[in-house]
Chains A and B, each alone.
Chain A
Amino acid sequence: MDVSHPISNASPRSELLAGARAIFPLVVGAVPFGIIFGTLAAGSLSFAGTLAMSIFVFAGSSQFIAIGLLASGTAAPLIILTTIVVNLRHLLYAVSLVPHLQKLSQFWKLVLGFWLTDEGFAVAIVRYDQRDISPNKHWYHLGAALFMYVNWVICTLIGLTIGRWIPNAASWGLDFAMSVTFIGMVIPYAKNYPMVVTIIVSGITALLAHGLPHQLGLMVAAIAGITAGMMTERKTR
């Protein structure tokens, strides 16, 4: 009997709930970030525009950068170009999901693709990589993605409404919530030498390349980190 690949017969419903439960801490971390987005965006976008951005773009860091650029008078085409560069990391996520989603229907690919985020991806990939053979792992992914989405839209709305009554909400540093959330997400990866090298090289490169236009430094740093980790892995083997 192959005990390394146990068959899991978790129902879609239980996978959905487990995914939502798994992403809960990251949803909590996104709450201040979403509220501050709604509050800040009100300065440069209309009420409907702010809400529409969270509903249709649904990419926190690029939304933040967009309203920052908008406030400094940047033209729309340049903001869209920056959005491409900032969100290019999602391409890496999508490629990582290929082996796990390729057998699903086009509808599932569309839904999970639209709702792809750093947080949703990080939670889903851990589930996909677990060794049990379950036909319903994509329901876990959906549970995580859906919770993240609904929370983001609601928090934007809270920022748009209640946020106006909080004095200087922008200066509190609520956006730091995203930083601590991502720190918490990185820590479980730091368990072997190549991964630690990836983290260090990626972090240092991000600092060095920070001055590049349109936030290009993010992609440069990620690729440098991945390459360094791979090279270390090859050497230590």
Chain B
Amino acid sequence: MNEFLLIGGMAIVTFLIRYPVLAMSGRIKLSPQFLKILGYVPPAVLTAIVVPAVLMPEGNQILLSYMNARLVGAMAAIAVGFWRKDLLLTIGVGMAVFFGWQGLLAMLAGNAG
């Protein structure tokens, strides 16, 4: 049914993005200049995914406030990431601060209401 077509379609298009360039890679020669450009790919792509996810928790408006638990968690993760170059610690502290802050906000909202 529809579900089968949807998943099949998604699988095919995703594979057709990932694989063909690699399949033909033996015949592709990239200039040193182009290789340099590619060095910027990971931070550019990852940042473009993260920033809206953190700053736009509702999906359409930027929320620069202590009310945004994602922003607080992200700032904690950035601080820990620069302080200790430890990925697991960065993820752990970021998540802990996010959950802690979210719980705190919920408690405050409960008291106010």
Contacts and interface: CB of A to CB of B under 8 A. Distances in A.
A221 B44 CA distance: 8
A195 interface: yes
A205 B102 CA distance: 28
Nearest to A68: B59
B104 interface: no
A173 B69 contact: yes
A80 B35 contact: no
Nearest to A225: B44
A154 interface: no
B55 to A, nearest CB: 6
> Which of B7, B44, B69, B70 counts the most A-chain CB atoms under 10 A from its CB?
B44
Interface in B58-113: 60, 62, 69-70, 73-74, 77-78, 81-82, 85, 87-88, 90-91, 94-95, 98-99, 102
Given A66-B6, A113-B23, A221-B44, A56 B81 contact: no
B75 to A, nearest CB: 10
Interface in A111-131: 112-114, 116, 118, 121-122, 125
B47 A109 contact: no
Interface stretch (A2-10, A44-52, A159-167): A44-52
A28 B19 CA distance: 26
Given A52-B7, A91-B17, A210 B22 contact: no
Contact of A180 (B13, B73, B85): B73
A226 B38 CA distance: 8
A198 B43 contact: yes
Contact of A184 (B26, B43, B51, B87): B87
Nearest to A88: B17
A98 B28 contact: yes
B81 A210 contact: no
Contacts of A182: 46-47, 49-50
Contacts of A226: 37, 40-41, 44
Contact of B18 (A114, A223, A230): A114
B10 A80 contact: yes
Interface of B: 2-11, 13-15, 17-23, 25-26, 28, 30, 35-38, 40-56, 60, 62, 69-70, 73-74, 77-78, 81-82, 85, 87-88, 90-91, 94-95, 98-99, 102
5 contacts: A84-B13, A122-B42, A183-B74, A186-B47, A221-B44
Given A176-B70, A207-B56, A217-B48, 17 more contacts: A49-B4, A52-B7, A59-B14, A80-B13, A83-B9, A93-B41, A102-B28, A109-B23, A113-B23, A172-B99, A176-B98, A179-B70, A182-B50, A183-B94, A198-B44, A203-B48, A210-B56
